[in-house]
Amino acid sequence: MSPLCRFLRTPEAVAGAIILVALFAMALTAPLFFPRDPQAIAGPALLPPFQDWSLPLGTDRLGRDVTAELFHGARTSLAVGLAAAAAALVIGAVVGTLAGFAGGLVDEMLMRITDAFQTVPSFLLALAFVSVVGPSLGVVVAAIALGAWTGPARVARAEVLSIRERDFVAGARVIGMHPLEIAFREVLPNALPPVLALSSVIVAAAILTEAALSFLGLGDPNRVTWGGMIAEGRTVLRTAPFLSIVPGIALVLTVLGVYLAGEGVVETTAVRRSLS
Amino acid sequence: MSSPLLTVSGLTKGYRRTGKTIAAVDGISFHIEPGETLALAGPSGSGKSTIGRLMLRLIEPDAGHIEFEGGDFLSLNGAALRARRARLQMVFQDPLAAFNPRATVARVLDDPLRIHGITSRRERPRRIAALLERVGLSADLVARAIHEISGGQRQRIAIARAIATNPSLIVLDEAVSALDVSVRGQILQLLLDLQREERIAYLFISHDLGVISAIAHRIAILDAGRIAESGNARTVIDAPQSAIGKALVAAAPKLNRTSVRDAS
Ligand SMILES: Nc1ncnc2c1ncn2[C@@H]1O[C@H](COP(=O)(O)OP(=O)(O)OP(=O)(O)O)[C@@H](O)[C@H]1O
Ligand SMILES: [Mg+2]
């Protein structure tokens, strides 16, 4: 049975995949369905959902279209989540590979730096970084990656430590390959599977961190974010709870979808690896 | 007389184990002439593989000298060492473990040609095809992944990779031990042909005296990190002087008889 078949037979994985597909569809079609600036006023303020079919999810305190905000917010969540996770995985894999492969003083130094980053709670780190540098999409991505690369670095290092003892690494040295080429072309690709297995957790955490930063007003002010929407809705929580509930549900579903689909991929490929 | 291709003197390597250091290789000296095969034999744990790895600078000795092609091999470092490696190659025992699990045949043979600038990028595919033909393989194999070919084919690829950079010496650590008997004979024949045509010297590490007597000119028998005896391969195998040599020879005919019986 191919991994794809096995994936499709796991109900949680399929549920996760469906959520992810819907999310990507929302993100990709946002400028198509809602070409107007989502932060522009679209109707009367505080219109409840399902009242006016041109504004299906109603409007917020300022009369902005919640549906448009939700769609455009999906773009931000996905972009930040994926970019931050990708950055964290790349940084972690490179640092872990260098530490594990070089050994000695380089290893010692890199791992102490990793320790230092790991002891600071990653949300505080992100908060401090954005407060100092100022909120923009790139800074938010960097801030989240800053707190997320240590896990991949540790996993990569452990994997590299075992791989570097294998004959094919000795073989690469014997043919005169440069140590950096050995580290990144021979060793790193073989160390990647367990590192990549972390990606769903990291993407989910990154999306949550982004929402939390936006909730605290440290998101990119020029973009709609779900965290920002929840914060906006908080002021009218009693009279218009849907303003917080709608983006809240979107956030929970997204994190769940990323996690379930990611676990599904890891499960199905892990089975394949243990069978071969 | 020409000077030897390789001179090893006083080579020593110890491993620390639970506090005290045990010498895996203990003051070994030997030399290899161009185009000659020196066999290293000895019981398991006698230090054969350690010597091979020391020769290739995969591990560093505690003491001793290695002179290779008239230069001090142990003083080389960095780029100079990597460049010199073209002339001193190795074939490993397990042909599957010796290659990156993700590699293809083409990549395995392309790497040494690229690293040592043997041929231009445009010429390389032709050179790779020639190497494959040289070791008795079809050029159609280039696109295959390493795990998609047989063990015998893989060991031929390992030999092709080793000869890609025109080495003068190849260390073969149990290079035919993992192969079944019929394939073993073919690989030994290939090694003999290559030696005759290209004058490559071999340091042939094996515990199989039958194989050694088929390929080696001289033999050194190791015992616990020291050379117990050495000399002409025929002479030593026919009439060993050391206790360990006698023990190895006494064990060998039995092995040969069973293998002959198995084959028939
Ligand atoms: N990395 C290591 N750490 C500690 N001890 C080692 C290490 N490598 C080898 N040794 C020890 O050094 C000695 C020589 O080992 P070596 O691998 O050279 O033996 P060998 O002659 O190749 O044996 P075999 O025929 O089984 O391959 C052995 O006692 C071994 O346990
Ligand atoms: Mg050995």
Tell me which of A154-168, B111-125, B246-260 is least confident.
B246-260
Best residue in B54, B100, B154 for a mutation probing chain A (most A CBs within 10 Å): B100
What CA–CA distance (Å, rounded) separates A130 from B182? 68
| Nearest-neighbour CA in chain A from B125: distance (Å) | 18
Q: CB contact, 8 Å: B78 with chain A?
A: no
Q: Which residues contact B35 (CB under 8 A, 6 or more apart)?
A: B195, B199, B200, B201
Single-letter amino acid, residue A259:
Y
CB A98 within 8 A of CB A274: no
The per-residue pLDDT for A273 is: 55
How many angstroms away from the CA of A211 is the closest CA of chain B? 39
Q: Which residues of A touch B100 (CB under 8 A)?
A: 168, 172, 186, 190
What pLDDT sits at residue B145? 94
Specify the pLDDT at position B76.
94
Using the Cβ of B156 and the Cβ atoms of chain A, whether some distance falls under 8 Å is answered with no
What b-and-e string marks burial along B209-243, b requiring 16 or more CB atoms within 10 Å of the CB? bebbbbbbbbbbbbbbbbbbbbbebeebbeebeee
Give the separation between CA A183 and CA A193, rounded to whole angstroms: 16
Q: Looking at B69-188, which runs of residues are DSSP E strands?
A: 71-72, 88-91, 169-173
- Kindly determine whether residue B99 and residue A171, on different chains, have CB atoms separated by under 8 Å: yes
pLDDT tens for chain A, 276 residues long, are 677 888 888 888 999 999 999 999 999 999 999 898 888 887 887 788 888 878 888 888 888 999 999 999 999 999 999 999 999 999 999 999 999 999 999 999 999 999 999 999 999 999 999 999 999 999 999 999 999 999 999 999 999 999 999 999 999 999 999 999 999 999 999 999 999 999 999 999 999 999 999 999 998 888 999 999 999 899 898 989 999 999 999 999 999 999 999 888 888 876 555 544
* Average pLDDT score, chain A: 91
CATH of the domain at A29: 1.10.3720.10
pLDDT reported for residue B262: 42
- Pick from A168, A177, A189: CB nearest B98: A168
Q: Among all chains, which residue has been given the structure tokens 């020639």?
A: B130
CA of B222 to the centre of ligand 1 (A): 12
Atom of ligand 1 nearest to the CA of B174: 27
Residues B220 and B227: beta-carbon distance below 8 Å: yes
CA separation for the pair B23, B53 (Å, rounded): 15
Alpha helices in A120-241 (DSSP H): 122-133, 137-148, 150-163, 167-174, 179-181, 188-196, 199-215, 226-234
pLDDT at residue A9, as a whole number: 85
Calpha distance B9→B24 (Å, rounded): 15
C-alpha span between A106 and A112 (Å, rounded): 10
Burial code of A45-80, b = ≥16 C-beta within 10 A, e = fewer? ebbebeeeeebebbbbeebbbbbbbbbbbbbbbbbb
- Closest Cα in chain A to B161: A175
What is the per-residue pLDDT for B246? 92
How many domains is chain A built from?
1
What residues of chain A have any CB closer than 8 angstroms to a CB in chain B? 166-168, 170-178, 186, 189-190
What number does the ligand 1 atom closest to the CA of B51 have? 18
Pocket test for ligand 1, best of B46, B55, B92 (most atoms within 8 A of CB): B46
Q: CA-CA distances (angstroms) from residue A21 to A24, A70, A158, A225, A250?
A: 5, 16, 34, 19, 13
At residue A92, the pLDDT reads 96
Rounded to an integer, the average pLDDT of B138-146 is 93
Q: Which residues of B touch A174 (CB under 8 A)?
A: 56, 58, 85, 89-90
Q: Ligand 1 pocket: which of B11, B15, B40, B211 to mutate (most atoms <8 Å of CB)?
A: B15
Closest CA to A175 of B130, B88, B80: B88
Handedness of CA B80, B81, B86, B87 (dihedral sign): positive
Which ligand 1 atom minimizes the distance to the CA of B46? 21
Q: What is the pLDDT at residue B253?
A: 61
The model's pLDDT over B29-43, given as tens digits with 9 standing for 90+, comes to 999 999 999 999 999
Q: Which domain holds residue A224?
A: 3-275
Determine the distance in angstroms separating the CA of B249 from the nearest CA of chain A, rounded to an integer.
30
Determine the average pLDDT of the residues in B192-200.
94
Is the pLDDT score of B259 beyond 50? no
pLDDT at residue B157 greater than cutoff 90: yes
CA distance B204 to B157: 18
Is the distance from CB of B108 to CB of B99 less than 8 angstroms? yes
What integer pLDDT is reported at residue B2 of this predicted model? Answer: 65
Contact between chains at A168 and B99 (C-beta distance less than 8 A): yes
Ligand 1, atom 1: nearest CA belongs to which residue?
Answer: B15
Q: Do A174 and B56 touch (CB under 8 A)?
A: yes
Q: How far is A62 from chain B (nearest CA, A)?
A: 57
- pLDDT, residue B172, reads 96
pTM given for the model: 0.85
Give the pLDDT score at A10.
86
pLDDT higher than threshold 50 for residue B3: yes
**Predicted pLDDT of residue A48:** 83
ipTM metric:
0.89
> Whose structure tokens read 């780190």?
A125
Give chain A's largest Cα–Cα span. 74
Whether the CB of B92 is below 8 Å from some CB of chain A: the reply is yes
**B1 pLDDT higher than 60:** no
Pocket of ligand 1 (CB under 6 A): B 15, 24, 42, 44-50, 207
Residue percentage of chain B with pLDDT more than 70: 95
